[in-house]
Amino acid sequence: MSRLLIASPHRYPDLARLWHRYTVRELVPAFERLHFEVTVNIFCDANADQFRPSLFPGVRFSRSGPGMRDFMEFYDATLHAPCDFLFFLDADTFLLDGEWVCSYLRAFDDRNVAAVSFVPRKSAPAIFALLCRAESYRALPAPALACRYEFPETWPHGVNLQPGDFAARELGRDGKIVINIASDESLRHTANFRGTTGIRSSREYTRLAAGEQAFTQSIALFPAYLVAAYDNILLGCLYESLYHQPFAPDAAGIPWGGSLTVSDLRQELAAVRDTKQLEALREKFRQSKHNILRMAAREGVELSIPSVLPNT
C-alpha cells in the first residue's frame, strides 16, 4: 500500500474549512479507492489557536516551530515525513475531480517522472497542486522547495524563483520529469482563487506596521488586490451559505473586513478609470464567478452574489 501525504499551509481557518471540505470529498476517496493510505496535513502558518480540530476531522495539524517556522520551511520539512507520495495543495486551490488527478498516477510508472503539476503558473509547473514522488525530491540539495532570489546584485532585475521552481530545475538537470498539465485542462477540473490569502495577510501586516489607512492606499497600487478581494467575496458567499458564519471577518466580526468589504470593493472599482483594466477585471470576475458556481452546484446551494462593478 502506497502512502500519500496531502500537505497544505493555511493562515485562515475559514478558508481551510472550505479547502478541507472539497479535499476530503473529492481527492481523498479517489486515492483510497486505489488503496492509498492517505494523510491530510494542514500547517497553521498563523492563527493556530483558531483551527479547531473538531471542524477538520481526520486532519493532522502542524504548527509553526523550530524547523518549520513558516510555510516555506514546512514544504521542506514535509519532504521527510513518512510517505511515498506528497501532494502539495495550496490553500486557495480546489481540486474538483479526484478521478482526474488519479488518472495521472500511471505516469509514475516511469521512474524518471518526479511529479505532476496540476495547476500551472504562467504555463510552467508550480507548487499550487503538485503531486510528487517523495524520493525524487528528497534526493535534491536542501532546501529543495524554498524560494530563492537569483542574481540579487541585479535587483530589481534578478530572478525570483517561487517555491518549487528550483527543485523543478534541478530535477530536470538530473533527467527527471515534472509533468505539466496545461492551463486549459487544469481549469476544467480545478477552481483557483489566487491571492485570497495574500490580500488578507497583507492587510494584517500593513495594519500592524503602518495602520489601516496605509492598506487602503496600497490597494490602488496593486490591481491584483481587486481580483483577490472579489474572490474572497465569492468564497464568503459559499462559506456563509454552508456554515452561516462571516468569511474573512475583521476584529469586529464584519464580513470580509479582513480583506475588502463589498462596499469598499465597489468604491475601489468605481475609482478605476482605465477601460482596459476594467474589462480585464470584468473577465477575471466572470471566471471566478463561474468557479464558485461550480462549487456551489456540487453543494446543491444557490448563492446570492453581490454585483460590485460599476454599470457601464
Point out which residues bind other proteins (CB under 8 A): 64, 69-70, 72-73, 143, 146-153, 155-156, 158, 205-206, 208-211, 213-214, 217-218, 221
Distance CA 240, CA 242 (A): 5
CB of 295 to other proteins, least distance (A): 31
CB of 223 to other proteins, least distance (A): 13
* Residue closest to 96 by CA, chosen among 19, 17, 205, 16: 19
CB of 199 to other proteins, least distance (A): 13
Output 68 or 115, the one with its CB closest to other proteins: 68
For the four alpha carbons of 136, 142, 144 and 145, in that order, the dihedral sign comes to positive
CB of 181 to other proteins, least distance (A): 27
Report the run of H or E that residue 141 belongs to, with start and end: none
Output 158 or 310, the one with its CB closest to other proteins: 158
User: What b/e readout covers 46-81, taking b as 16+ CB neighbours within 10 angstroms?
Assistant: bebeebeeeebeebeebebeeebeebbbbbbbbbee
Output 2 or 64, the one with its CB closest to other proteins: 64
**Angle between helix 196-210 and 223-243 (nearest 10):** 110
CB distance 77 to 69 below 8 Å: no
Output 214 or 254, the one with its CB closest to other proteins: 214
Distance CA 198, CA 258 (A): 11
Q: Which three cell numbers stand for residue 69?
A: 517556522
Beta strand pairing call for 113-117 and 177-180? parallel
Q: Which three cell numbers stand for residue 115?
A: 511529479
Which residues, including other chains, have CB under 8 Å from residue 81's CB and lie 6 or more apart?
Answer: 5, 7, 41
Output 65 or 172, the one with its CB closest to other proteins: 65
Output 111 or 151, the one with its CB closest to other proteins: 151
CB of 168 to other proteins, least distance (A): 16
CB of 179 to other proteins, least distance (A): 26
CB of 222 to other proteins, least distance (A): 8
Output 26 or 45, the one with its CB closest to other proteins: 45
CB of 130 to other proteins, least distance (A): 18
The number of beta carbons lying within 10 Å of the beta carbon of residue 286 is 10
Q: Which three cell numbers stand for residue 95?
A: 481540486
Output 43 or 247, the one with its CB closest to other proteins: 43
